[in-house]
Amino acid sequence: MSKKYIATPSRTKELLNKYSFAFKKSLGQNFLIDVNVLENIIHQAGITKETGAIEIGPGMGALTEQLAIHADKVVAFEIDQRLLPILEETLADYDNVEIIHHDILKANVEEVIQTHFEEGQDIHVVANLPYYITTPILMKLVRDQLPVTSLTVMIQKEVADRMAAVPNTKSYGSLSIAVQYYTEASVVLNVPKQVFMPQPNVDSSVLKLVMRKEPPVQVDNVDFFFELIQASFAQRRKTLRNNLNRFLQDKFAKQQIETFLENAAIDGGRRGETLTMEEFASLANVIHKELPKS
């Protein structure tokens, strides 16, 4: 049976030749050609015959096929029109797959969920994401607070490490906190370049994001909280005090900023990468209370 799977070098090459398909660099197309890796991703995602799955960028259908085998229903978003006839052929045997020709960044995903899945169904996003657009896609999906349980995605290793990073590490930054405010993040698998066609120049990892029911911290203003975090990492080598002085110079004197740090019990000589999300929340709330009302 495994010989018929899409995710093999020979079957992928056969399809590329049959449809005279040329990879588009602008779409970050790297197709998976290893069934074991795909089955591992599906296992990590927690896909069962009861669950629904949303896929982004199915390509020729390698992951889609495995999702169709293991899940109740699969809805896949594909932006590249050239792949639609290929998907029609490769997924012909599966009646539980819906392909939507749409840009995920412009799609109303919540509406798609209501249309294609049972009410209250356990839904997971599972995808091999184009590396050039990973962060915008994931941030859109988590910020939209979609009714999904988790997102399990193959992405560039360096980005996965940043999203799952903890304080006091080189990878920890504003992206780590933004992702972890909405989800519990963990790297569940590292994947070698050899399982892709064409081979990418970077290493890959599978990142699992489990949606939180509640954020781990309470903040008075979410937008300001994230602005403060971005500012705190603006120049990583500088102290928190320096970054804050630059960020708040139009609104507060340096002495006032020093008072904010004291009230939040944070040493201004520390760097942003040493602060926990709780400390950032505390500092954001202290400062936000004193911000001039516009």
Q: How far apart are CA 80 and CA 83, in angstroms?
A: 6
244 marked as part of a ligand binding site: no
Residue 231 CA: distances (Å) to CA of 42, 192, 244, 287: 38, 35, 7, 13
The whole-angstrom separation of Cα 289 and Cα 294 is 13
3-state secondary structure of 177: helix
In angstroms, the Cα distances linking 34 to 102, 192, 273 are 26, 11, 37
Q: Are 151 and 209 in contact (CB under 8 A)?
A: yes
- Give which of 202, 223, 210, 147 is closest to 179, Cα–Cα: 210
Both tokens of 38, joined, read: 């795909």
Output phi, psi for 83, to 5 deg. -85, -15
Q: Where are the alpha helices (DSSP H) in the chain?
A: 9-18, 35-45, 62-70, 84-90, 109-116, 134-143, 157-163, 174-182, 222-232, 240-248, 254-263, 277-290
Q: Is 190 annotated as a binding residue?
A: no
- Judge residue 167's burial from the number of C-beta atoms within 10 Å of its C-beta, 0-12 exposed, 13-18 middle, 19 or more buried: middle
Q: Residue 27, annotated ligand binder?
A: no
- Which stretches of 71-221 are DSSP H helices? 84-90, 109-116, 134-143, 157-163, 174-182
With the CA atoms of 230, 235, 239 and 243 taken in that order, what torsion angle do they form, in degrees rounded to the nearest 10?
-50
Q: Is 46 annotated as a binding residue?
A: no
Structure tokens at 260: 């904010």
Give binding residues for S-adenosyl-L-methionine as ranges.
30, 32, 57, 78, 103, 128
Give binding residues as ranges.
30, 32, 57, 78, 103, 128
